[in-house]
Chain A
Amino acid sequence: MNRQYTQKELHEKLRIVEASSHVMHVSRSYAWYRLLAIWGVVWFVSYSVLWLGQVVRSWQILSLWTSGVVAAGAIGATLYIGRGQCSVVRGSGRVADVRLLRFWGAVVCGLTIMPALLYMLGLDMVTICFLIQPLMVSWLTGAVFVAVGVRYRHASEIWSGIAMLVIGAAAISMALPDRLLWLAVVGGGSMCVSALRWRYAAQKGRLTNA
């Protein structure tokens, strides 16, 4: 009975199985690359305005507030995209998406909003600057990203985490004077590049012979 199938046909079937499996896996990550891109921009804007506050003393309060507003906008975008992502899938497979959204969002939101909230609660800039220094933020974010990436098997999270750990190590070893700006550019940039790499992988995996 098996002779009715040609080797070429069967190999093609196997290729379809592998390609469909891959495209489904990647497409489920589609919303996450959008979140990663948003957070990359948020990271860049937040730390850029904090850096401006450091350079221009009169902008100190304004920069903290601006950071807070930008982060709040990002939370809204995260919830909107996350809600859309979670609504297309039902059942047990949805749980991981929801967990990832909450965990990832909470960690990055916390790190971005924390300085503004602490300032409003009366902490002085010296203490806040310690909390937002590149080494601490980069390493903490990097460790969390790697942990979440490993837990949920998201390669982009793992690579972003590794990038953040490297940024932290480089920041302290190079002892750059404008660390906040450097953190803004490299941190935000690595997230955006990671998001683009993710998008490229997703598009590359899309089936063309449907």
Chain B
Amino acid sequence: MLDPVIHPDTRLKIMTALVELGLGTSIAFSALQDTLGMTAGNLSVQARKLEQAGYVAITKSYQANKPVTYIGVTGQGEAAYRKYVATLKVILGM
């Protein structure tokens, strides 16, 4: 069974990008938005759902007095993502 939290296209893109970035590394929200070509609202909504599942960690900090939001994959999220991709390949017979 494919993980329903990761399965929607947008969340799959976010998870793939964050896993590619690596565990223990986070990226500015705006940079991820630009990279994936998503709107701020869409990214924000989908990221919150992933955060609620414990798959991503969202943190806020300041840079030059400007608030910056960072997002990174958690250990649980990385494991769930790898399981999702492995299951996907099994179903497709790859």
Interface residues of A (CB under 8 A from B): 1-2, 5, 7, 10-11, 13-14, 16-17, 20-21, 23-25, 27-28, 87-94, 206-210
Contact = CB atoms under 8 A, between A and B. Distances in A.
B67 interface: no
Contacts of B21: 24, 28, 89, 93
A93 to B, nearest CB: 3
A27 B28 CA distance: 13
Contacts of B17: 20-21, 23-24
B35 A23 contact: yes
A118 B22 CA distance: 44
Contacts of B37: 206-208, 210
Contacts of B91: 2, 5, 10
Nearest to A94: B25
Most A CB contacts (10 A, CB to CB) among B16, B22, B37, B88 go to: B16
B31 A88 contact: yes
Contacts of B12: 13, 16-17, 20
A9 to B, nearest CB: 10
A156 B12 CA distance: 29
Given A2-B91, A14-B92, A24 B25 contact: no
A89 B26 contact: yes
11 contacts: A5-B2, A13-B9, A13-B12, A17-B88, A20-B17, A24-B16, A24-B17, A91-B24, A92-B25, A93-B24, A93-B25
B17 to A, nearest CB: 4
Given A21-B19, A88-B27, A93-B22, 12 more contacts: A2-B91, A17-B16, A20-B16, A23-B35, A24-B17, A24-B21, A87-B28, A89-B27, A90-B25, A93-B24, A210-B10, A210-B13
B45 to A, nearest CB: 13
Contacts of B35: 23-24, 27
A86 B13 CA distance: 23
Interface in B1-53: 1-2, 7, 9-10, 12-13, 16-17, 19-22, 24-28, 30-31, 34-38, 42
A29 to B, nearest CB: 11
A3 B43 CA distance: 30
B80 interface: no
Contacts of A25: 20
A98 B1 CA distance: 41
B85 interface: yes
Nearest to A92: B24
